[in-house]
Amino acid sequence: MQDLAIETCSHNGSIGWGAPIYKQVLDDFRALDNILSPIVERRSISEMRLEILDGGVIEFWSLDKPDSIRGKKYHRFIVNEAGFVPDLMDIRNYIITPTLIDYQGDEYYAGTPKGMNGFFNLYNHDAPDWAHWQMSSYSNPFIPVSELDSLKALMPERAFQQEILAQFLEDGGGVFRNVRAASTLQKQEPAAGGQYVIGVDWGRSNDSTVFSVIDVTSKHQVYMDRMQDTDYATQRLRLKALAERYNNAYIIAEANSMGQPNIEALQNMGCSVQAFTTTNATKANIIQGLELAFERSEIALLNDEYQITELMAYQSEKLPSGLIRYGSPEGLHDDTVMALALAWSSVSGPRAGTLVDFA
């Protein structure tokens, strides 16, 4: 992909470069800046822009906020790690493709498969001017076959098929199975007399804050609110209003970092809030509970592409101590996963719908 960018900008072309989130975009920016350094005339990290001698330009975009791309004109658009981009087809059809019309430009999408999502649909796109390639890590002449064979003995079979053999697997090969089959619901209004739990994962700028609402009786996710770049005071007001709307729902919120001050403020506002202190052990407990819910088809979720992508990307790693560490791939987020797991931990417990002391 870097070669494609260099080819275009060295011929005075303009390039759009996209990746799922800002951290990945920044890594790509730095890598290309390092390669092109001898011919970079101007660089701007704040604008995420490289200007090359004689007129070539590369502009970098975080695809979790794609609307900023509208109105641009490019000779080529490249998307890195396309399998992790939620709503990829809509971003491609309504935002990226229009940027290529003026110059009759081309587009490239690359990355590791992550379930049968938008990247899978693009891979199977049937058009006369469209081509696709699928190569496993064994095709890379710079990686010793013995190293890959050793990974086969360490990794789960499905993870190896996806990460090393580049195969599209229905559920993404991660921790949670049957994610798409479970994600068919639309948002539901609260039922009279219904009991609800809200899981909260706090964020501010780089991470999102997510409120995930589950109906205790049906075990359906009925609502989700995801926000970014929102001050904590506004977040608390939104959460209080959401809890009141869903029949004074219980709230289970992460207490780490800024979580505890937010929890105390919510309690002073009259909300019923339980603190959850995240450690490797407590996180493993709620994630494994959610994993079991998917295996047993006990949970039904909203048809939300961002949440689906995070769930399908979620991974586990066995530590030298023998413990399992859970999390999203490097550079990605798990905000919707944690909010959902927190809510589910109350819904599925022996005292479903009551507050459990996790601290």
Segment 317-346, tens digit of pLDDT:
766 666 677 887 766 788 999 999 999 998
For residues 322 and 185, membership in a common domain is answered with yes
Sole residue written with tokens 């996180």: 283
CA 259, chain centre distance (Å): 21
Residue 115's nearest CA partner among 34, 69, 183 is: 183
Q: In this structure, are 50 and 190 located in the same domain? A: no
Q: Tell whether 118 and 205 lie within a shared domain.
A: no
Q: Which residues of the chain have pLDDT under 50?
A: 350-359
Beta strand 40-44 with 76-79: parallel, antiparallel or unpaired? unpaired
In a domain, 155, yes or no: no
pLDDT at 356: 44
129 and 183 share one domain = no
- Give the global pTM: 0.64
Please count the structural domains in the chain. 2
Q: Tell me what pLDDT residue 339 has.
A: 96
Same domain (yes/no): 114, 256: no
Which residue is associated with the tokens 């959460």? 239
Do 192 and 107 share a structural domain? no
75: left (phi over 0), alpha (psi -120 to 50) or beta: alpha
> So what's the pLDDT on residue 354?
42
185 and 258, same domain (yes or no): yes
Residue 181 corresponds to which tokens in the numbers above? 């089959």
State whether 18 and 126 are in the same domain. Answer: yes
Long-range CB pairs of 152-161, under 8 A, 24+ apart, other chains included: 159/315
- Does the residue 281 lie in any domain? yes
pLDDT of 127 reads 84
CB neighbour class for 82 (10 Å; exposed up to 12, middle 13-18, buried from 19): buried
Report the DSSP pairing between strands 273-276 and 40-44.
unpaired
d(CA 216, CA 194) in angstroms, rounded, equals: 8
Same domain, 218 and 310: yes
Among the candidates 75, 106, 133, a domain finishes at 133
> Could you list the residue range(s) of the whole structural domain that residue 291 is in?
179-347
Placement of tokens 């710079």 in the chain: 142
